[in-house]
Structure 1
Amino acid sequence: MSDRYELFLTCPKGLEGLLAEEAAGLGLEDIREHTSAIRGSADMETAYRLCLWSRLGNRVLMVLKRFAMGNADDLYDGVNEVDWQDHLLPDGTLAVEFSGHGSGIDNTHFGALKVKDAIVDKLRTAEGERPSVDKLNPDLRVHLRLDRGEAILSLDLSGHSLHQRGYRLQQGAAPLKENLAAAVLIRAGWPRIAAQGGALADPMCGVGTFLVEAAMIAADIAPNLRRTRWGFSAWLGHVPALWRKLHDEALARAEAGLAKPPLWIRGYEADPRLIQPGRNNVERAGLSDWIKIYQGEVATFEPRPDQNQKGLVICNPPYGERLGDEASLLYLYQNLGERLRQACLNWEAAVFTGAPDLGKRMGIRSHKQYAFWNGALPCKLLLIKVLPDQFVTGERRTPEQRQADAAQAAIDAETPTRNKPAPEPVIEQARLSEGGQMFANRLQKNLKQLGKWARREGVDCYRVYDADMPEYALAIDLYHDWVHVQEYAAPKSIDPDKAQARLFDALAAIPQALGVDKSRVIVKRRERQSGTRQYERQSTEGKFTEVSEGGVKLLVNLTDYLDTGLFLDHRPMRMRIQREAAGKRFLNLFCYTATASVHAAKGGARSTTSVDLSKTYLDWARRNLSLNGFSDKNRLEQGDVMAWLQGNREEFDLIFIDPPTFSNSKRMEGVFDVQRDHVQLLDLAIARLAPGGVLYFSNNFRKFQLDGHLDSRYQVEEISGQTLDPDFVRNTRIHRAWKIQAK
């Protein structure tokens, strides 16, 4: 064999340039970059060194042969011609990885099988002894890449991917691979900062990947020093003495590095479940003297190094994949920006994010950005120097203003802490965009007007905004000290990036305008509903909040469903029922959480009967009734309303029906359609109405038309306008309602 080899080093997409620099420093020559890989030439010592020291690579592949191939037979022959007895014993084990297609090979499994057959046939002994396949820990890993009719046959010297350092046995929900974390640290300038004795802090450290990789860089520890099994361990071409020499050198460098005074490296994590796994990872890496992990929220993050030295704040905030993540993530990024400004002046910061639009919401400028890939997700690394003139505000600061800010910051820095007023936990108005400030002004105006009415009426849950400004298509409801935001899906004609930016503007304005904590803002997206979509579970928090209206207490769930358990627009109807219920037998059909039944009981109803198909909502209804001390004489019936009415012979003095637009539950026969079926529904219900009784019927189907023939049989009066409170007068189509009596 030649003393020099052609090597391919694979890596995550986007790291090719960094890997080329690293590999050159480790001795690789004639380097060329490819997608997710580099190639070059090296001797065996350099190949071993790359395996041991590459922080960025995935695999080190040593090319055995290149050959042209036009079909599967060419593939077999080309592989079979290699002197495999120089690489593997006849009773050894192997694994084959095949990539690429063409030249008659359209299936990678078939290609791998051909390569395996060629090797096995070459090594088969006269006694029939032959290598076997072991995909987990083979003696030899063979890689063949097919590229435009050329086969590149290689040995994988690394074995398991080099990013698997061995310290991270426990990981969080969205782990950052170790080599990607190392690349981010290198791009962020950590090697320079560490060499100067700087500190490092991660306010969202998860299980500590950034922390461990940073400490290994600072302490000059080879990333794969602790690995015991390699792709070359059982390879017949392995040179153990050469490997031992390199490994001993790396051990000596690590011992020298760890003997230095440790740098101040700290991680903070809000999720208590990740603290111990993170500490376990640090301990496995042998870095417990260098790294400490604490539980802490981003909102209280403040790095306090021993010698007051500056350094690098680095983090990988969550990107958000679930419905309603926008609010919590926006406020997380805002909190991060505020903490950088308030607690990390003159530090450097690196924010690695898959949501660059959220990165812009930190209110602080990045001086440099790098594109990365985290798997298939495009990401950005935002590099920030936390200086006073880096802060982004809603207005442009003149040079004179910036100079004054810097002078004030210098005065503040000299002022003893005990004399400083405590910072107020508010979002500065200047940080809202122009559109965000307009939106905040509208919210504050609405709150001022509606707040007086709500206090007068004893209501602590009401709608404060309902798409008043067309470009901010949101419905915003106050539930005591919580804010429930529903984003109406933007029309397809609207640029989704603009819609997202406006949503972020609005979410930034809400806590400030309404005077609520950011953690109490919940966001949901409301699409056009089909079937029972609005009743489907969105989350599983199971957290109920108590609110009040008209002297009754009701439970709402703001997180788990698209609707909250209380239709705010029906408040006037519930109050009407409360006023008219005294001494009456009340029937509530499609009762949902039976809020109207609670009002009827409060108004002195002789009895209430509530019917719904959902056990979940009837359980909720039971809790609403018992919360107000109503349990006797308040019956809850599970069943299909139409079937229940057909089988019931009781009389009721007051009936309320608010059906869904459409229902196709598995527990009912057929499908309910309010437009098609409302006449049959009303006929069945009025048959149960006592002489002189009243039936209230409403629904929120925008295109609904009440059947014109009902007037001939019953007294019908539309009362829609009388069932709108001030918080819904702008949206007169929110529902329609009728008062119906027998003639």
Structure 2
Amino acid sequence: MSDRFELFLTCPKGLEGLLLEEAVGLGLEEAREHTSAVRGSADMETAYRLCLWSRLANRVLLVLKRFPMKDAEDLYHGVLDVDWQDHMLADGTLAVEFSGHGSGIDNTHFGALKVKDAIVDKLRTPSGERPSIDKLNPDLRIHLRLDRGEAILSLDLSGHSLHQRGYRLQQGAAPLKENLAAAILIRAGWPRIAAEGGALADPMCGVGTFLVEAGMIAADMAPNLRRQQWGFTAWLGHVPALWKKLHEEASERAAAGLAKPPLWIRGYEADPRLIQPGRNNVERAGLSEWIKIYQGEVATFEPRPDQNQKGLVICNPPYGERLGDEASLLYLYQNLGERLRQACLNWEAAVFTGAPDLGKRMGIRSHKQYSFWNGALPCKLLLIKVLPDQFVTGERRTPEQRQAEREQSAYDQTPDVPQERQYNKNGNPIKPAPAPAPVVEQARLSEGGQMFANRLQKNLKLLSKWAKREGVDCYRVYDADMPEYSMAIDLYHDWVHVQEYVAPKSIDPEKASARLFDALAAIPQALNVDKSRVIIKRRERQSGTKQYERQSAQGKFTEVNEGGVKLLVNLTDYLDTGLFLDHRPMRLRIQKEAAGKRFLNLFCYTATASVHAAKGGARSTTSVDLSKTYLDWARRNLSLNGFSDKNRLEQGDVMAWLEASRDEYELIFIDPPTFSNSKRMEGVFDVQRDHVQLLDLAMARLAPGGVLYFSNNFRKFQLEENLAERYAVEEITAKTIDPDFARNSKIHRAWKITAR
């Protein structure tokens, strides 16, 4: 067997340049880049060293043979021609991986089968002994790559992919592969920073992949030092003495590195479920003395161990798992930018993001950007120097002002000098004035964002006076007033609930996204609320009961006040919150008219109208809905106000319930969905088609002299004209719209119906 070999090192897309530099440094010669790979020549010692020390490669493939291939027979005979007895025993195990197509082979499984057949036929003994297949832990893993009519047959020296270091047995929902994390650290300059004794902090560390990879780089630990299984262990060409020598050298280097004073490497993670798995990963990597992980939010993490320490802040913010989540991440990026500006002055930062537009919202310019791929997702690595002249916040400053800030910053970071104690005239020591809290500048808004903020402030100024006068603490403050900023914004006491209306297909998605981010940046400033109290959802055209389906599972309820009653809203778990704000005037009307009456609430949702009726002195209330979830919510609303007695909750299909009911009511309210196809009801309800039957059934339950209020929010709804022949029908829509919905007069339509 030759003393030199052709090697192929595979890697994730985008890492080729870094891998080339690393491989050359480890001894690969005649090296050049290919797509997701590096090719070169080396002796066996270099091949082992690449397996042990490469932080970036997926696999180290030793090329056994190249041969031209026109069809499956060429493939079979080309593989058969290799002296397989030099590589494995006849009773060994084998796995074959095939990539590429052409030359009559369009199915990789068929190609792998032909390779396997050739190897088995070559090694089959007269007694019938032959290699068997083991896809998990074979003695040899063979690769064949078909490239433009040439077959490249290789032995995988790595075994399992080299990114699997062995320390990460527990991981989060969307972890970075270890070699991608190492590549990001190298691009961010961590080897240089570590050599200078710098620190590292990850404010969104998950299970600690960045931390462990950074620790291994700083401590000079070979990334695969602790790997037990290798692709060459059972290979007959393996040189155990040479491998042992290299492994012992790596062990000695790791021991020497770990004996040095440990660098300050810290991770912070908001999710308490990931803290212990992260610490377990650190312990398995042997870096417990170097790395600490704490629970903490991005907005509060403190990266500096002392005033003079410098280093690198690195993180991989979440990408968003569901439609609309990307918008919610804006405040996470803004919080990260604020913490960098406030607590990391003169540090370096590296933000790996799948949403570069959000990276621009941190309020700090990046001086370099690199493209990477995280699987199939294109990503950017933003490199940042945390210096005042890179901040994109507040007022533009002159060079003289920036210099003054730098001088002040240098002054602030000098050690405290003991001051002479001062005393007042009574001889008591005077306490020094507390140092002012650091001021974090708010992000400067774009021109469009400032226009949006101005509109919000104008609306708030007008509506807040009305809301205070009426005793209302939840109301709509904006509803697509500016067409380019298409969203509804509601205030719930000190929370902000934002519903983004999906832009039509005629709008450029990038422009729509940029406008959304502009608006979201403006909301906390214009409404003077903390970013953490802004809830964002995306509202699309609804079908069936989609608007009532669970979106999240936080189960957090907030208490709000309306017309003297307390109501529970859930701002996170469903598209709607449990309180239709536009029906406020109708609920207050019901409260005024309910005294002494039996009240029926059909399609009651969370029974807020029933609470108002009870508050108004109703003799009894009956609330009907198909959803157990919302009836449980209704029960809590009634109980919160002390109205558990004489208030009946009925689960059922409203139409069927009305047909079976024989009770009478003096006051009835109906606010049906536009469409419903629940599995728990017979057929499908369509408000346009079925409203006549619904109203006839309900009017049959209306006591003499009683009033039925009917409302719905289907924009194209038309009340059947012949209803006026049987009942007294009065449209009262204008009387049921408060000032906060005056800009959207089509939010709903409402009628008062009585017997003739």
Relative to the length of structure 2, the TM-score reads 0.96
Residue 137 of structure 2 aligns with which residue? 137
For these two proteins, the number of residue pairs brought into alignment is 742
Q: Which amino acid aligns with 2:8?
A: F
Counterpart CA distance in 2 for 1:307 and 1:438 is: 40
Q: Which residue type is aligned with residue 289 of structure 2?
A: D
Distance in 2, matches of 1:425 and 1:562, equals 36
Q: Distance in 1 between matches of 2:262 and 2:703?
A: 84
| Amino acid of the structure 1 residue aligned with 2:722 | H
SS of the aligned residue for 2:329 comes to helix
2:56 partner amino acid = L
Cα distance between partner residues in 1 of 2:25 and 2:135: 33
Residue 314 (structure 1) aligns with: 314
Q: Distance in 1 between matches of 2:63 and 2:326?
A: 48
Matching of residues 82-161 of structure 1 within 5 Å: 82-161=82-161
Deviation for aligned residue 1:413:
3.9
Please report how far the alpha carbon of residue 416 of structure 1 lies from its aligned counterpart in structure 2 after TM superposition.
5.2
**Partner of residue 668 from structure 1, selected from 681, 693, 700:** 681
Deviation, structure 1 residue 270: 1.6
More displaced 10-residue stretch of structure 1: 66-75 or 382-391: 66-75
| DSSP 3-state at the match of 2:532 | helix
Q: Which residue of 2 aligns with 1:173?
A: 173
Q: Shift of residue 68 of structure 1?
A: 1.3
Partner of 1:25: 25
In structure 2, distance between residues paired with 1:416 and 1:662 = 69
Q: Contact 1:328–1:519 at 8 Å: present in 2 too?
A: no
The Cα of 1:399 is off from its aligned counterpart by 2.9
CA separation of 1:415 and 1:604: change in aligned 2, threshold 3 A: farther
Aligned residue for 2:559, secondary structure, equals strand
- 8 A Cα contact 1:13 1:36, kept in partner: yes
Contact 2:304 2:310 in 1 (8 A): no
Asked if 1:659 corresponds to 2:667, the answer is no
Match of 1:560 in 2: 573
Alpha-carbon deviations, 1:666-706, whole Å to 9, x = none? 11122111111111111111111111111111100001111
2:752 to 735, 739, 743: 739
| Residue number in structure 1 paired with 2:600 | 587
Shift of 1:405: 3.3
Distance change >3 Å, CA 59–CA 419, structure 1 → 2: farther
Alignment correspondent of 1:516: 529
CA distance in 1 between counterparts of 2:131 and 2:729 reads: 88
Deviation at 1:420, TM superposition (A): 6.3
1:49 maps to what in 2? 49
Q: In 2, distance between residues paired with 1:375 and 1:313?
A: 23
For 2:296 and 2:618, how far apart are their aligned partners in 1?
A: 52
Which of 461, 470, 474 is matched with 2:474 structurally? 461
Q: Residue type matched to 1:527 in 2?
A: E
Q: CA deviation at 1:557?
A: 1.0
Q: Structure 2: how far apart are the matches of 1:434 and 1:279?
A: 46
User: In structure 2, what is the equivalent of residue 612 of structure 1?
Assistant: 625
User: Could you tell me the percent identity over the aligned residues?
Assistant: 87
- Whether 1:10 aligns to 2:6 is no
Aligned to 1:211: 211
Moved more, 533-542 or 325-334: 325-334
Match of 1:724 in 2: 737
1:549 to partner: Cα distance: 0.3
Q: Shift in Å at residue 297 of structure 1?
A: 1.6
> What is the CA–CA distance in structure 2 between the aligned matches of 1:170 and 1:552, rounded to whole Å?
48
Partner of 1:250: 250
Residue among 423, 447, 451 paired with 2:437: 423
Amino acid at match of 1:88: M
Q: Does residue 472 of structure 1 match 2:478?
A: no
Unaligned runs of 5+ in 1: none
CA distance in 2, matches of 1:310, 1:415: 16
Which is worse superposed, 466-475 or 392-401? 392-401
Q: CA deviation at 1:617?
A: 1.1
Pick aligned residue for 1:547 from 534, 537, 560: 560
Residues 147/327 of structure 1: CA separation in 2 closer, same or farther (3 Å cut): closer
Secondary structure class of the residue paired with 2:350: strand
Aligned partner letter, 2:437: P
SS in structure 2 of the partner of residue 528 of structure 1: coil
Contact 2:393-2:441 within 8 A present in 1 as well: no
Give the structure 1 partner of residue 511 of structure 2. Answer: 498
Task: Say if 2:342 and 2:440, in contact at 8 Å, map to a contact too.
Answer: no
| Distance in 2 of aligned mates of 1:655 and 1:182 | 66
Contact 1:264 1:306 in 2 (8 A): no
Partner of 2:551: 538
SS of aligned partner of 1:266 = strand
Structure 2 spans left out of the alignment, 5+ residues: 418-431
The alpha carbon displacement at 1:50 in A equals: 0.5
Q: Are the equivalent residues in 1 in contact too, given 2:394–2:441 (CA < 8 A)?
A: no
Cα deviation, residue 421, structure 1: 3.8
The equivalent residue for 2:424 is none
Give the Å deviation of 1:434: 2.1
Per the normalisation by structure 1, the TM-score is: 0.97
DSSP-derived class of the 2:314 partner: strand
Q: Does 1:263 align with 2:237?
A: no
Aligned position for 2:634 = 621
Deviation at 1:263, TM superposition (A): 1.4
Query: SS where residue 94 of structure 1 aligns?
Result: strand
8 Å CA contact retained: 2:319, 2:326: no
- Once residues 69 and 524 of structure 2 are traced to their aligned partners in structure 1, the CA distance between those partners, rounded to angstroms, is 65
Residue in 1 that maps onto 2:715: 702
Q: CA deviation at 1:45?
A: 0.9
Q: Distance in 1 between matches of 2:279 and 2:647?
A: 55
Structure 1 counterpart of 2:691, which letter? H
Q: Which aligned pairs between 1:305-384 and structure 2 lie closer than 5 A?
A: 305=305, 308-326=308-326, 328-384=328-384
CA distance in 2, matches of 1:665, 1:603: 33
Alpha-carbon contact 2:731-2:750 (below 8 Å) kept? yes
- Note if contact 1:97-1:112 (Cα within 8 Å) is conserved in structure 2: yes
Out of 462-471 and 179-188, give the one that drifted further: 462-471
Q: Please state whether the residue corresponding to 1:578 is helix, strand or coil.
A: helix
Q: CA deviation at 1:382?
A: 0.5
More deviation, 586-595/249-258: 249-258
Q: Distance in 2 between matches of 1:204 and 1:718?
A: 55
- Larger displacement relative to structure 2 (49-58 or 246-255): 246-255
Q: Which moved more, 1:473-482 or 1:231-240?
A: 473-482
Q: For 2:444 and 2:95, how far apart are their aligned partners in 1?
A: 57
Give the secondary-structure state (helix, strand or coil) at the position aligned to 1:431: coil
Q: Which residue of 2 aligns with 1:712?
A: 725
Displacement after TM superposition at 1:308 (Å): 2.8
Give yes or no for contact 2:473–2:562 (8 Å, CA) kept in 1: yes
Tell me, what secondary structure is at the counterpart of 1:739? Answer: strand
SS at match of 1:210: helix
SS at match of 2:104: coil
**In the alignment, does 2:501 pair up with 1:488?**
yes
Equivalent position amino acid for 1:691 in 2: P
Question: Could you give the per-residue CA deviations for residues 406-432 of structure 1, whole angstroms, max 9, x where no partner exists?
Answer: 34434444595986644367652x522
Going from structure 1 to structure 2, the CA distance change for 1:167 and 1:731 (only over 3 Å counts) comes to same
Q: Is the 8 A contact 1:326 1:523 kept in 2?
A: no
Q: Deviations over 1:571-627 (max 9, x none)?
A: 000000000011111111111111111111111111111111111111111111111
Q: Assess if the C-alpha contact under 8 Å between 2:315 and 2:351 holds in 1.
A: yes
| Mean CA deviation greater in 315-324 or 471-480 | 315-324
Of the three residues 600, 609, 621, the one matched with 1:596 is: 609
Query: Within 5 A, what are the aligned runs for 1:185-224?
Result: 185-224=185-224
- AA aligned to 2:288 is S
Counterpart pick for 1:687 among 690, 700, 709: 700
State how 1:442-457 maps to structure 2 within 5 Å: 442-457=455-470
Separation in structure 2 between the aligned mates of residue 358 and residue 181 of structure 1, nearest angstrom = 20
